[in-house]
Amino acid sequence: MAKSKSRHFFNTAGPCNPDWHYTVDSVPRVPEIRDLIANISYFVLHAPRQTGKTTFLYAMMHQLNSEAKYTALQVNIQPAASGRDPEHAMQIIATCIYAQAERFLPMVEMPPDFRTFDWRMENGLKGYLAQWAKSCPKPIVLFVDEADSLMDDLFLTLLRQLRAGFEARPDAFPQSIGLVGLRDVRDYKIRLRPDTLSMGTGNPFNIKTKSLFMDVFNEAEVHALMDLHQQETGQVFTSEVRAEIYRLSQGQPWLTNALLNQIIAEILKNDFTQAITLVHVTQAREELISRRDTHIDSLVDKLHEERVRVIIAAIMGGTIFESDRFNDDLAYVQDLGLITRKPPIRFANPIYQEIIPRVLSYGMQVSIPEDYVKTESWYVKDGHLDMNALLVEFQKFYRRHSEVWRVSLISARWADSFY
């Protein structure tokens, strides 16, 4: 049967490009940023990996530039993490700004050419941004993506350069700057110094007005994403399929796209004439868990960190973990996107809930005899545990082995009577 053609697909790698990917409007996801920019504020935007931060920044940049009130630019400064020293790292940031501006800004709004800029005479990155703001005809809005990829003295230098120019905004420094990354400012402070030392400030970015968290898709946004495919191809997502995809992903953008891509591209091979069923959703879930793509592996890697393990262990064991660092540790695991941000604290979605125990119990899994594994079909149906079947199997097992247990128990009590 011939396959239908689709111009778009569900994205699972990097920021979404509306020309290629099914993309919901991301600007409404963080409405506060508009007011922060208008109020000449600096801010932090943070969210877990592959939540849509960069997609949002591009959308926000294009929208602001189309309105012609600001000169807006998104820049990824991750290359600066390889700087050999703070001065070199700031120069790399300037090259990133210039390269991105060449792509998106008209000549009249361009920053200085970093190749001819006098770094020593003009006070480094502060001077570079100041010269840009003075020559640019409009106030500058700068989104600094991957800000927390810089460590220690490189990151601290960046913050000091921004603080040094802050009071000159908007005429001689960018009107609004947003630091964008995985963590809130409170975690920058922990990374910048040992717990026993002080940076001399309670906040490493104390000129920021607000820290914003980008939440996952709500249910309407998940439906809107599926609607785009349905409208383009005619392939229908039933209400049951829609509900199950949202239940499994809980709106996590990468998981949502990955489930949909697994169904459409991998299982159905882009045959849009086929009906999408709950069986396809269950198969996609299991294949994603088994395959452990980069997104999932990056989360699994965090389980090696002690402050993550203690929180996860407390959730799995239904216990209360208390320590002097409990609030910071809990906030850190929430910022990673592993658990919910609101009580009751639990895993962020059913897929994480299944993956994490599997990872933590992997040693036990590979130690289970093969004949035990083969009995799984007795108590697993459609990927779900059948408790009635499991209890029936246990009753059979108990009848076969209970006599041994009783003899062992009587022998133990008899031996105890001599002590």
Average pLDDT estimate for 345-366: 79
Provide, rounded to the nearest whole percent, the portion of the chain with pLDDT above 70. 81
Angle between helical axes of 124-135 and 152-165 (0-180°, round to 10): 40
Average pLDDT estimate for 193-202: 44
Q: pLDDT averaged over the chain?
A: 84
147: CB partners within 8 A, 6+ apart: 77, 155, 158, 179, 180, 181
Q: Write down the H helix ranges in 30-151.
A: 32-38, 53-67, 86-104, 124-135
CB 218 within 8 A of CB 202: no
Q: Please name which of 253, 219, 223 lies closest in space to residue 237, comparing C-alpha atoms.
A: 223
Q: What is the pLDDT of residue 356?
A: 84
Reading the block at residue 297, the tokens are 């592996």
Give 297-323 as a DSSP string: HHHHHHTTSHHHHHHHHHHHHT-----
Amino acid at 68: A
Check whether 247 has a pLDDT greater than 70: yes
CB 163 within 8 A of CB 174: no
* Domain residue ranges of the chain, discontinuous segments joined by +: 27-213, 219-291, 295-364
Check whether 127 has a pLDDT greater than 50: yes
SS3 43: strand
> Is residue 303 very low, low, confident or very high in pLDDT (cuts 50, 70, 90)?
confident
Highest mean pLDDT among 104-108, 321-325, 333-337, 360-364: 104-108
Question: Residue 394: left (phi > 0), alpha (psi -120 to 50), or beta?
Answer: alpha
Average pLDDT estimate for 33-57: 93
Q: Specify the range with the lowest mean pLDDT, choosing from 136-140, 256-260, 278-282, 338-342.
A: 338-342
Backbone φ and ψ of 75, nearest 5°: -140, 130
Question: Rounded to an integer, what distance in angstroms lies between the CA atom of residue 375 and that of residue 366?
Answer: 15
Give pLDDT tens digits for 74-111.
999 999 999 989 999 999 999 999 999 999 999 999 99
Q: What is the pLDDT of residue 330?
A: 86
Average pLDDT estimate for 413-418: 50
Domain spanning 27-213: CATH superfamily: P-loop containing nucleotide triphosphate hydrolases (3.40.50.300)
Better-predicted residue by pLDDT, 118 or 37: 37
Q: What is the pLDDT of residue 388?
A: 82
Length of the chain in residues, anyone? 419
> Is residue 53 very low, low, confident or very high in pLDDT (cuts 50, 70, 90)?
very high
Question: Rounded to an integer, what distance in angstroms lies between the CA atom of residue 61 and that of residue 99?
Answer: 15
CB 112 within 8 A of CB 133: no
